Amino acid sequence: MPAKKKPNAAPLTGSALVKETCRRLRAARSLWDSHRNDACRHERAKALELYESLSEGQREQVPQVLRVWLRYRSEKYFGPHRTPPGKK
């Protein structure tokens, strides 16, 4: 039986928020590289939510490689012009 997840008492702020955003972006990129698109979509959505909560100065702390990957994947593969995944 898997361990129970502990509820996060306090929301992330400052450098912890930047670090978690980077971690989620790297995880999404790793899932993308291994062709696990559905899992990548979910991880990318969580990362994007965190990224949008960052201030302009904090966004500069996210490595440019991750920012470019997020923007490229967001526009090309996950944009509003794409058909959303359906149930099989």
Residue 34: what pLDDT?
92
Residue 14: what pLDDT?
81
Residue 48 · residue 73 · CB < 8 Å? no
Residue 54: what pLDDT?
92
Asked if residue 3 is part of any domain, the answer here is: no
Asked if residue 82 is part of any domain, the answer here is: no
Q: Give me the number of domains the chain comprises.
A: 1
Q: Burial-class residue 51 by CB neighbours within 10 Å (0-12, 13-18, 19+).
A: buried
Asked if residue 57 is part of any domain, the answer here is: yes
- Domain boundaries, position 25: 14-76
**Residue 73 in tokens:** 């994947």
Asked if residue 67 is part of any domain, the answer here is: yes
Rounded to two decimals, the pTM is: 0.76
pLDDT in tens, the chain (88 residues): 667 766 665 677 788 899 999 999 999 999 999 988 888 888 998 999 999 999 999 999 999 999 998 888 766 677 667 776 665 5
Asked if residue 60 is part of any domain, the answer here is: yes
Asked if residue 30 is part of any domain, the answer here is: yes
Q: Cβ contacts of residue 22 below 8 Å, gap of 6+?
A: 62, 63, 66
